[in-house]
Amino acid sequence: MKLNFFKYQGTGNDFVILDNRNHEYDGLTNEQVKFLCDRRFGIGADGLMLLNSATDYDFEMKYYNSDGNTSTMCGNGGRCLVKFAFHRGITRTIYRFIAADGLHEAEIDMDGTVSLKMKDVNNIEELNHKDFLLDTGSPHYVKMVNDVMDYDVYQKGHDIRYSNKFAKQGVNVNFVEQKNDDEIIVRTYERGVEDETLSCGTGVTASALVNFHNEIGFNEVIVTTKGGKLSVEYDRHKDGNYSDIWLCGPADMVFAGCIEIN
Ligand SMILES: N[C@@H](CCC[C@H](N)C(=O)O)C(=O)O
């Protein structure tokens, strides 16, 4: 089968995207997804997305990790898919699309920045004063550390991800250093890639929520990742819940091509 693909990246979190509005790629197998994401034998990416058509929405986002399995929400992927939809002629002031965790809204700014509204977050489990567990569309473990750039993200991330508590469902593991009240650095070990990626949108969101600077009301946290900067805006409520969470940053096409797969 010949496949027309598009490669996008959002702060270095990279994705193969297929336009599946005419159901051309409905039969894609997990093995084929794994092959397409392979950095040596395939195109190379952290994940693959299908742009599906959807009644009542602008489109549907279907997400696969690079291990070939479908997964939950991907924040950087969602932002890239909105830019892709725009490039494919779906132009909206506010996009409304459906993903594994429900409805998302998104906007593309004049400078090309894509802002994506994430699901509300109601439960943050504080394991101790440095370790937290929450779901921002995908499950995330957030660990506050010092000198995150010198941290062994692969080994420590792997240890937590494969610990008894998470062995079955898996978890993404974020290591976070606080720079200022409203600035953090985040490195993430991603489930389904089973390695560190340059950036993880749902992980950046989770890390920013844990690091609020205003206990009640509006917060904006600037997040540095290995692949660039993102910002996360949100409202924190007195019951500790979060709403109006927006993940904002660049999302760009890298290249497009055609590949033959078995
Ligand atoms: N890179 C993503 C997260 C993708 C899903 C994750 N690997 C999982 O399986 O939970 C992001 O930008 O959020």
Percent residues over pLDDT 90 in the chain: 98
DSSP-assigned letters across all residues of 84-150? HHHHTT---SSEEEEETTEEEEEEE-TTS-EEEEEPPB---EEEETTEEEEESSSEEEEEE-SSGGG
191 is in an annotated binding site: yes
Which pTM does this prediction carry? 0.98
29 is in an annotated binding site: no
Q: Which domains does the chain have, with CATH numbers?
A: 2-107+252-260 (3.10.310.10), 125-249 (3.10.310.10)
Looking at residue 164, its pLDDT comes to: 96
Looking at residue 237, its pLDDT comes to: 97
Looking at residue 85, its pLDDT comes to: 98
Looking at residue 38, its pLDDT comes to: 98
- Cα(94) to centroid of ligand 1, in Å? 23
**What's the whole-number mean pLDDT along residues 104-122?**
98
Looking at residue 189, its pLDDT comes to: 98
Residue among 32, 58, 57 nearest 48 (CA): 32
**What's the whole-number mean pLDDT along residues 91-110?**
98
CB 227 within 8 A of CB 198: yes
HEC secondary structure over 161-224: HCCCCCCCCCCEEEEEEEEECCEEEEEEEECCCCEEECCCHHHHHHHHHHCCCCCCEEEEEEEE
Which tens digits make up the pLDDT trace of 144-189? Answer: 999 999 999 999 999 999 999 998 899 999 999 999 999 999 999 9
Atom of ligand 1 at shortest distance to CA of 10? 12
